[in-house]
Structures are given as C-alpha cells and as structure tokens.
Structure 1
Amino acid sequence: MAAPQGADVRLEDQQKINTFSRLNTRLHELEAQLTAKKADAEDLEEAGNEVMLLDDETVPYVVGECLVHLPREEVEERLQTALDEAQAGIKEVEGEMRRVKAQMGELKTLLYARFGSSINLEE
C-alpha cells in the first residue's frame, strides 16, 4: 500500500492496518460461527416441533454417543433448553460482530483520512 505523496507509512499506521486485517479475519470467523449457530438453532426448533407431534410417551434422545428413551416432556424441556442456549449464543456472536464492525469502521475512518484513495480496506 503506497501512501499519498508526502505521507509516509508510520509505525502507528502499519499497526492500524494490521489491526484492521486481524479484525477483518475475526469478522469472517464470526460470520461462520453465526451461520453454524443459526443452523443448530433451526435444527433444534424442528426437532422440538417433531417431538410435539409424537403420540409416544417415550422419545429416543441422543446423549453423547448413546441413544436413550426419555419421557416426551423431558425431551421437550431438554430441546427447549438447548434452543435457548443456541439463541443466546447467536445473540452473543451478533454482539461481538457489531463490536468488531464498529472498531473496523473507526480504523477505516482514520486510515482513509490519512491515506485517501491510496489504501483499499474493502473486501
């Protein structure tokens, strides 16, 4: 990245560029985590709906690597708890994504102010 004429890349500028790059990498990791957590939550919700439709008193449920038959009400509670945890995880990841994007926005403002069109911080 070349600086505009007369604007040398200082150590603090390079550190800001490096920080931006790390934040961008972290954002991509968070996006992947969010996609996985949303898929898990959707699967849990679908499983909960299927369990509600069953007429059986006991329902097969996977615990670790074992398949056990549990009372339907207990399975519904476990699925709801897992869904609540998944949704909390989604909110946590979304919050971290907002924080990362805010930090990236601040760095973009500083770096574009310093280097103008000589620097490209877009995907």
Structure 2
Amino acid sequence: MLAAEEENDNEVRRIDQQNINKFARLNARLHEVRAERANLQKQLERLDDASTELMMGSGDTVWMMLGEAFLATSEDDATEFCEGQVEKMQSRVERLKGEETTIVDEQAELKKILYGRFGKSINLEDS
C-alpha cells in the first residue's frame, strides 16, 4: 500500500493507457526474445559438441540425424553442415540481442514518461 502522500490522483488518459499497453507488449516480447536466445545458445552448445566429436573421428562415414531421420554422410559433409548451422544460429542470436537492446531502450523511455506522470502509483518493473 502507498502512503497517502505517495498516491497519485492523476486521471489515466488514453495516451497513458496506450503507453502502459505498449510497455506490457514490449515486456512480453522481451521475455520471448530472451527465451528464444537461451534456446539457441543450448543448440549452439550441442552443435559445438557434435563438431568436436566429428574432429576426433577417423574420417569414416557418420550417421547424422536430421529431424527424425538418420542419414549416412561423410565426416566432411557433416562438419560443413554443422558449421553452416552454427553460422545461421549465431546470426540469429545477434539479431535477437539487437532486438532485446531496442526493447529495453523503448521500455526505458516509457518508464520515464509513465513514472513522471504517475510516480510510485504505477509499477513497471520486469517480472
């Protein structure tokens, strides 16, 4: 509960509600971006482990799992595939980092506006 002097009786205008809604949408997207980035990091670790295993191989045919199917392929082809996947995932991670930065910046601007108007009467902290 807020003390009586901390309460803010400002009327919520349409623009205020739009800013609050925008902040909420950005917050939801931020959580999605962070979860997707964490998932990609795990996949990158698995691909790194697979590449290490391929390097320690003897040059024989290897079985590579794509989706639910196993394919027999050469070590070189499997290594090339892994490297290609790593590049794609790293570029995706970089794009997600950029999006996260943009979202955080937008949220900071909205916090300035909304805290300036409502003070402690509004809570915009991440949850």
- TM over 0.5, shorter chain: yes
Query: Unpaired segments of 5 or more residues in structure 1?
Result: none
Letter in 1 for 2:119: G
1:112 corresponds to 2:115: yes
Letter in 2 for 1:43: R
Which runs of structure 2 are paired with 1:7-22 in the superposition (5 Å)?
Answer: 7-22=10-25
Letter in 2 for 1:18: N
Of 18, 22, 39, which aligns to 1:36?
A: 39
Letter in 1 for 2:35: A
Q: Which residue of 2 aligns with 1:122?
A: 125
CA distance in 2, matches of 1:58, 1:4: 71
Give the TM-score of the pair, scaled to structure 1: 0.92
1:62 corresponds to 2:75: no
CA distance in 2, matches of 1:13, 1:122: 17
CA distance in 1, matches of 2:118, 2:112: 10
The alpha carbon displacement at 1:23 in A equals 0.6
Q: Which residue of 1 aligns with 2:8?
A: 4
CA distance in 2, matches of 1:109, 1:46: 45
SS in 2 for 1:9: coil
1:78 corresponds to 2:95: no
Give me the CA root mean square deviation: 1.2
Letter in 1 for 2:8: P
Give the TM-score of the pair, scaled to structure 2: 0.89
Aligned length: 120
Letter in 1 for 2:46: D
Percent identity between the aligned chains? Answer: 35
CA distance in 2, matches of 1:121, 1:26: 15
CA distance in 2, matches of 1:37, 1:84: 12
1:25 corresponds to 2:22: no
